[in-house]
Amino acid sequence: MEIRVSQFGHNRQTPLLDTVHNPADLRKLDESQLPQLAEEVRLDMLNAVSRTGGHLGAGLGVVELTVAIHHVFNTPEDKLIWDVGHQCYPHKILTERRDQLSTIRQGGGLSGFTTRKESIYDPFGAAHSSTSISAGLGYAVARDLAGKTNNVISVIGDGSMTAGMAYEAMNNAGAMNSRLVVILNDNDMSIAPPVGALSAYLSRLISAKPYQSMRHLAKEIISKFPPRIETAAKRAEEYARGFFTGGTLFEELGFFYIGPVDGHDFSHLLPVLKNVRDCGFDGPVLIHAVTQKGKGYEPAEKAADKYHGVSKFDVVSGKQEKTPPKAPLYQNVFAKALIAEAKHDDKIVAMTAAMPSGTGLNLFQEEFPDRTFDVGIAEQHGVTFCAGMACDGYKPYATIYSTFLQRAYDQVVHDVAIQSLPVRFIIDRAGMVGADGVTHQGSYDLAYLGCIPDMVIMAPSDELELMNMVATSATIDDKPSAIRFPRGEATGKVTLPERGSVMEIGKGRIVREGKHVAILALGTRLADCLEAADKLAAHGFSTTVADARFAKPLDVALVKNLASNHEVFLTVEEGSIGGFSSLVSNLLANEGLFDNGLKFRPVCMPDIFIDHDSPAKQLEQAGLDADGIFAKAMSALGQEVAKSSSSIA
């Protein structure tokens, strides 16, 4: 149902939705009431997200599907698993969290994804793609082992089907007899034939009991024939259905394919879902539902990105409240630097895993379309793809969010590092990421890359340093390298050249001289370190502040100088335990620099998961802001200061 401007306003009514507090209430409704309920859910979601921002287009596209699933299946006893989880806002509205939706992605509020600790209706937490079928199969096997009979439903989008993990799971599920329902939410795939009356009829027909009974009888009869005839008959039946439905690929993976069905039409959805629930399939089933991102909200339907992720917006006009950036975004500075290098070197190529605009590579692609590669949600493949190009003399830049590079760790080690291939890893979203929360925080890259032999790791303190590091990476041709930088705006305090300058590998710099405390910063926390130094000076302690620039190789002379000439030595990094501080402390220990009473304190992320909030609040909680750094130094000096109640020691 199309939402019109006249329906918006401060006095919108949702009389039917007001009676639905959980899926049990939803299941009491007559099927004829479901279109109205779906419209009210869509209105409620729009109203909430317009005030908070968040993921919108994907949720609008699955409203009817969400309502239908909860109406037909007995959630939470039946397990409903959403892939990625960014489309789960309608699900949250219907599962006892409607009153909290205005807190989504805010500090102390609802997560923007599914999470087990939030609700019994979220049986599996997710914010990275392509995990739902694996998790669903695990639930299905556990159910079978326990002798239970509940249903397991995994909803996966067509984008998530670009990742190999989805096919690994389907291959495994197809070889087993566990009953699993996979719903392919297809809002962009070209494999789907037109959805219409014939398609809907065929889907109802092949999922219904009479067809299944006849199919079972035919199997029994055919099983009496020689194996060759039995196999041929089975293939003929599968390909006949595949001819009409387009599901041959899924049939080959061992799934019983049903579809495509219109994911916005309850007269199509409900009969198929009921048939799948009631027919007792002895194996995995895939329902192919075709939906439209942004469905029912005209501004989203017309937008190129379908309002995938939005800031606060006016519901009537769709206009988003976007504050103009005060400084360039780090991702765009990277793109500027890479474009400058590529103009001088035709061997430079760039790869992204489905994040061209988020990483700035859309700008590089405009300049060099033939040298830009988007491999889809396939980080493992992407890294080895880059390794292959590096083998033949090209200079690939593997541009991946820190949290997503985790998915390709074996490839980083086995396919790149062991072979000393000069793949350049550009690690965006390093550190805190605010509202996206723990699943997207770039917390671990310093730790998981720092332990790899001969890996060069750089972290700029500002946008000029980033440009210089991109230029430097282009000269590293005998080993892998990485540059990590945070999400969001740069400092805006430096003038950028047309092209970066090459830096000396493994060489840091002293920014401020002092004699009591030494602070060695890696990355953009340098500004907070300088502010902390000002606070220390106000208490009579002069401070040396240095910019490490490189986590590997360490500037050994700089570290030894700081440790030998100061009473207290702090390292500061926006990364987890086991990262930069561990590399420095290992050097200090091996050089015997702890032997004379040096007071060393690492300042890094605490050993907990920090939930979604504003980046400033997250840094405060982690003790990585100026106050936290100051307090850590004062503690080492034996001068305790009052700490914020929200910070972590």
Tokens of 631: 């307090």
Contact (CB, 8 A) for 50 and 300: no
Sequence-ordered alpha helix ranges (H) in 368-452: 379-391, 402-405, 409-410, 445-450
SS3 of 39-51: HHHHHHHHHHHHH
| Residue 115 CB-density burial (10 A; 0-12 exposed, 13-18 middle, 19+ buried) | buried
Given the residues 40, 379, 465, 573, select the one marked as catalytic. 379
Contact (CB, 8 A) for 353 and 375: yes
Contact (CB, 8 A) for 260 and 241: no
Beta bridge partners of 310: 54
Query: Maximum distance among all alpha carbons in the chain?
Result: 94
User: What number of helices (H) and strands (E) belong to the chain?
Assistant: 26, 19
List of residues 6+ apart from 145 with CB closer than 8 A: none
Residue 322 is given by DSSP the state P
In angstroms and rounded to an integer, the radius of gyration of the C-alpha atoms of the chain is 28
The verdict on whether 293 is a catalytic residue reads yes
> Distance (Å, rounded) from C-alpha 235 to C-alpha 44?
47
CA-to-CA separations, 528 to 223, 417, 524, 591, in angstroms, rounded: 74, 33, 8, 29
Element (H, E) at 374: strand 372-374
Q: Please tell me the total number of residues recorded for the chain in this structure.
A: 649
The SS3 of residue 332 is helix
Detail the residues annotated as belonging to a binding site for thiamine diphosphate: 86, 127-129, 159-160, 187, 297, 379
> Distance (Å, rounded) from C-alpha 199 to C-alpha 287?
12
> Distance (Å, rounded) from C-alpha 286 to C-alpha 527?
53
Strands 79-82 and 152-157: parallel
Given the residues 79, 293, 295, 424, select the one marked as catalytic. 293
CA-to-CA separations, 253 to 131, 166, 238, 531, in angstroms, rounded: 17, 11, 11, 59
Q: Which amino acid is at 420?
A: S
Contact (CB, 8 A) for 382 and 351: yes
Strands 568-573 and 395-401: unpaired
The verdict on whether 40 is a catalytic residue reads no
Detail the residues annotated as belonging to a binding site: 86, 127-129, 158-160, 187, 297, 379
Rama region for 172: left / alpha / beta (φ>0; ψ in -120 to 50; rest)? alpha
Contact (CB, 8 A) for 235 and 228: no
Contact (CB, 8 A) for 377 and 389: no
Nearest by Cα to 422 from 372, 456, 447: 456
Detail the residues annotated as belonging to a binding site for Mg(2+): 158, 187
Tokens of 265: 């039409």
Q: Which amino acid is at 359?
A: T
Given the residues 92, 407, 549, 632, select the one marked as catalytic. 407
The verdict on whether 620 is a catalytic residue reads no
Q: How far is CA 16 from the centre of its chain?
A: 34
Nearest by Cα to 313 from 323, 302, 327, 301: 323
Catalytically active residues, by annotation:
293, 379, 407
